[in-house]
Amino acid sequence: MLIDTPLYIINNSLSHNVITEIPNKVFNLNKRKIKNLYFNDLNKYDDYRVIEHGQTIYNLNKNGYRSPDFCKNVDILTSGCSFTYGAGVPENYIWPQILSNLSNLKYNNLGFSGNSVGKIIRDIFSYFKEFGHPKYLFCLFPPFERIEIPINQKLIRLNNLKEMKKRDSAAGDIDYIQSVQLFFEPELKIIDKKPYLAESTIPVDMAHFYAAQQILILEQYCNVVGINLKYGFWNPEHNLLMKKIKSINNEYYKNFIDVETNRWRFNLDSEIDEFYENDVFNKNKNEWGKLINCHSNFKDKHFTFNIGSDKVLYGIGSAHWGFHRHIHIAEKFASVLNLNVNYE
């Protein structure tokens, strides 16, 4: 039973035992924080949930994921962040569902918006503990620059802390473990005071180190227990980064596959085309993207073919993929199953 009492650490040395109390003013460890900090379990809810966000409806299972009910002996397990959750896209057009259709294999999906590499892998091991091993594990990882940290609000603050408080006010508190986005060089101040801004304190090297090491642990585990693991990155830069790392030592990251997101430009819509014409990342079209006119027979199936419905909420620059890219991801992973098919 978890109780709200101070936490003690026992330090065993050669000469004596020292018991040091961690002051409650630093670690106010209530039941919820103890659970988040020291344990690792999937969420469980009493019933299914339906979330309507913008123009897309998300049906969640009893574990809070956009997936069929979790079950033992599943063929395919998928995981990732919002691009695997399928933000802004109908469920029948997200890449895990398409991959299931192509292979005629049952799947469970652990994709969840905002996940870091670390959170994705934690969820995978929680799933293993409760439901056992799948035959295949496919992951679409986010950039390494996301890292999970405990938010002790007396010591650490985030750029978007006010938004998180507003978002989670119904739950009574912000989540103790939060994902920090380290996409920009920290602006260190000569003089600062607590609580310190996490984005300006944590070096991006730390995020890369933990993400990379966690992937290596997952690879080694899957190799030992016989899970066929393959993964890629939705971020074009990280696909290129991984290829460069493997060129230095090809003994590592053997389960990586290039999902070729750096070759894609899905701009069959004039509005999207205009945005990408002005996008600094697409100035060199030969290196960064090509206009792809494939799968045009799906264009009229749903209005999210080119870009997710969340463009209404966030604008084109911050919206998620349309389901055209989901088709390509599914086809790329399907090739691992020796399914040389196109989704038509």
Per-residue model confidence (pLDDT) at position 134: 98
pLDDT in tens, 18-73: 444 554 544 557 777 778 888 899 988 878 888 887 788 899 999 999 999 999 99
pLDDT mean across residues, the chain: 80
Q: Please report which helix (H) or strand (E) contains residue 297, including its range.
A: none
Is residue 83 over pLDDT 50? yes
What is the arrangement of strands in the sheet containing 228-233, beginning at the earlier edge strand? 107-109, 76-80, 136-141, 228-233
* 285 pLDDT higher than 50: no
Domains plus CATH for the chain?
8-38 (no CATH), 52-147+205-259+325-337 (3.40.50.1110)
Residue 341: per-residue pLDDT: 66
Of 123, 178, 180, 120, which is closest to residue 146 (Cα–Cα)?
180
Q: Which of 228-242, 260-274, 314-328 has the lowest mean pLDDT?
A: 260-274
b/e per residue, 137-160, with b = 16+ CB within 10 A? Answer: bbbbbbbbbbbbbebeeeebbbee
* Average pLDDT rounded to a whole number, residues 166-180: 59
The residues with which 52 forms a beta bridge, in sequence order, are 57
Instruction: Evaluate if residue 166 carries a pLDDT over 90.
Output: no
